[in-house]
Structure 1
Amino acid sequence: MKKLFLLLFLLLTIFSFSNDSIRIVSTSQFTTEMLLAIGAEDYMIGTSFLDDEILPELQEKYKKIPVLSAGAPTKELFYSLNPTFLTGWQSIATSKNLGTIEELNENGVEVFFTKSQKTSNLDDIYEDILYFGKRLNLEENAKKVVENMKSEIEKVKVFNSGKKKVKVFAYDSQESAPFIIGGNGIGNTMIELAGGENIFKDSNFGFGTGNWEKVLDENPELILIVDYGDKSYESKIKFLKQESPILELQAVKENRFVRIPLSYISSGIKVSKGIEKISEGLREVQE
């Protein structure tokens, strides 16, 4: 019996050490918020690529983790932290940034890039959250996060049941040709679940370049504006109302604009709240 107890104690100690030794760098807001939401802050040694404000309920946890840079941290800074796990934007794993996945692995860094950043399927977001939970021995926390997201989305779906679809132009940026939310990403799925119909739903990209002619032809009832970066939400509205080719559209004249911060339309834990935000913006048109 003593030998069995000792064996169990050793196994638990090894397992605990294995988890405690995980040192995570997160290079996207959506993975940072996933990790914080499941209670993985003690494993996190650095973050980067903050698009907008962290969820209020996660801000205290976030403040305790070093922000390495606004964009990609340097290799020197990254490796000086002795990281063992990297997640975030897939573009971080290039020779110009932190190195290829093969290079990172050779240097003792485990790499996990979320499947959901290249998908239009909400289930992939849930799977990513549950993966983090399993990998970090926080499975119950991860399950609760997923269950809460599903519950929030279901309420919106029930509310919109039987209501007419609202034609939506989802504008990101650019002036000569609009950079938009297309039909092959999570943004399009969110618009549909919120009760809208993306006028660029037939495009084969998540974000990409559209054209003003189609916006004029489709005559959207509402304009969803992605808010982030150097150009403010207000400046984008000013352009649409004063200089853009669509300034005569009814939706523009009647100020039917809805603001959506970038992190609320990225593949993370905010998608349920993002769907709620879009749905709230559509209600005036639906009614």
Structure 2
Amino acid sequence: MVAAVSATVMLFATACGADVEDDATAPAGQAVTVDNCREPLTVPGRPSRVVVNDTGITEIMFALGLADTLAGYTTYAGKERDIASSPWRADFERTRSLGDAFTREAIQSADPDFVFAGWNYGFKKSTGVTPDWIRSLGATPYQLTEACRQPGSTERGIVAPLDALYEDLANIGEIFGVQNRATSLISEYKAEVRKANATAPTEDRRARVFLFDSADPTPFTSGRFAAPEQIITEAGGSNIFGDLEDSWTSTSWEAAAQRNPQVILIVDYGAGPANTVAAKIRQLQTHPLMSGTDAVREGRFLALPYAALVEGPRNPAAITKVAQYLRSVGH
């Protein structure tokens, strides 16, 4: 078996928030209005009991130096590797875990005044955890911009993925009175992206890249509005499903094989032996359609942590990692 090149150890998409001078804290009673999912969102005062869902969202708060505002976070089974590889591991360890499910009971147990999640990043009508329900608790719901629903649709994504990250950093910075820190992080991330892009393979040598999250039974991948789209393109590759007007979405094995990827980027997460990176590679190698693609035949697999591939502060470092890999395999 050809082993994947793994970069699951410490993707340092900068943890330097602690090195940036804190802004003056916004007065507790001062209302702040920001644009969230193209709608005005007014927060009545600086939140002090925040509940967040998912590792990428939690790391946004940590990168901004806001660990002390968290009343708790939820993740999913299999995200332990995210925490182990996180530049903010110490913050995870000192913050209350509310378990592996973003449920009404878990949220209510923390008595939040602000809840940061996104559609399919915690908010789901099927569970009853919606922004409207959060409001019924007297808390403010903030929606992850990567997961904003398109008008009149359940499909997600309204801006380019990195713009979504920068927008959320700026908004959370304003809401919590840490605008200077947010501005500094955005500038640093943009500089890292420019540096990676400058050394990425040229336009005529762009590798076709397939983002493989999982398959149950059809493959789950990244469309135009999920973070991997821009991680791949800024690194000098071409996302084979970048034409899908959605965020994270399902496709077919037939479509993936027909587009013949030259590199496969694997999301490293998932509970149990069937969901390891090695298991995902075996699945691709034994699949009757995927086994004949250039990427599988040449053994071109790169695995990155889940938190590096959903919207979050590890995205710029992920671009650097993917650009390095594409250069190493001649693309």
User: What range is the shorter-chain TM-score in?
Assistant: 0.7 to 0.9
The partner residue of 1:237 within 281, 303, 308 is: 281
Amino acid at match of 1:65: T
- Superposed CA offset, 1:20-58 (max 9, x none): 762101112122101111111111110011534235431
- Please list the CA deviations of residues 209-268 of structure 1 after superposition, one character each: whole Å capped at 9, or x if unmatched: 323333333322111112211301000111111344221333212211111222111111
Which structure: greater helix fraction?
A: 1
Larger radius of gyration: 1
Distance (whole Å) between structure 1 residues aligned to residue 314 and residue 241 of structure 2? 23
In 2, the alpha carbon distance for the partners of 1:250 and 1:105 equals 50
| 1:130 equivalenced with 2:170 (yes/no) | yes
Distance 1:99 1:181 in 2: 24
Task: Answer whether contact 2:267 2:304 (CA < 8 A) is retained.
Answer: yes
**Residues 253 and 169 (structure 1), Cα distance of their counterparts in 2 relative to 1, 3 Å cut:** same
Q: How much has 1:96 moved relative to structure 2?
A: 5.1
- Describe the superposition over 1:41-95 as per-residue Cα deviations: whole angstroms up to 9, x where unpaired: 111110011534235431112211110011214x334223221111123343456
Cα deviation 1:110-161 (Å, max 9, x = unaligned): 1111223343331221111111111111111111221121111111111126
Corresponding residue of 2:38: none
1:101 matched to 2:113: no
Give secondary structure in 2 for the equivalent of 1:180. strand
The aligned runs of 1:25-174 (5 Å cut-off) are 25-49=51-75, 51=79, 52-54=81-83, 56-73=86-103, 75-91=104-120, 92-94=122-124, 97=127, 99-118=129-148, 119=157, 120-160=160-200, 162=202, 164-174=205-215
For 2:257 and 2:130, locate their aligned partners in 1 and report how far apart those are by CA, in whole Å. Answer: 43
Aligned to 2:230: 189
CA distance in 1, matches of 2:124, 2:223: 26
Identify if the C-alpha distance between structure 1 residues 221 and 66 changes in structure 2 by more than 3 Å, giving closer, same or farther.
same
Cα offset, 1:281, TM superposition: 1.9
Number of equivalences: 275
- Mapped partners of 1:125, 1:56: distance in 2: 18
257, 261, 283: which one aligns with 2:301: 257
Which one-letter code corresponds to 1:110 in the other structure?
T
State the distance in 1 between where 2:131 and 2:61 align. Answer: 21
Task: Choose 148-157 or 47-56, whichever is displaced more.
Answer: 47-56
- Structure 2 runs not aligned, ≥5 long: 1-23, 31-44, 149-156
In structure 1, what residue type is equivalent to 2:190?
Answer: K
- Pick from 261, 264, 268: which aligns with 1:223? 264
CA distance in 2: counterparts of 1:76 and 1:256, whole angstroms: 43
* Alpha-carbon distance between aligned partners in 2 of 1:97 and 1:217, rounded to the nearest angstrom: 36
Q: What are structure 1's unaligned runs of at least 5 residues?
A: 1-11
**One-letter amino acid matched to 1:90:** W
Tell me the secondary structure at the aligned position of residue 111 of structure 1. Answer: strand
Equivalent position of 1:7 in the other structure: none
Between the two proteins, what is the percent identity of the paired residues?
25
Judge conservation of contact 2:200–2:324 (CA < 8 Å) in 1: no
CA distance in 2 between counterparts of 1:81 and 1:213 reads: 45
Q: Assess, with a 3 A threshold, how the Cα gap between structure 1 residues 234 and 24 changes in structure 2: closer, same or farther.
A: same
Q: Distance in 2 between matches of 1:13 and 1:37?
A: 16
Structure with the bigger RCO (C-alpha within 8 Å, sep 6+) is 2
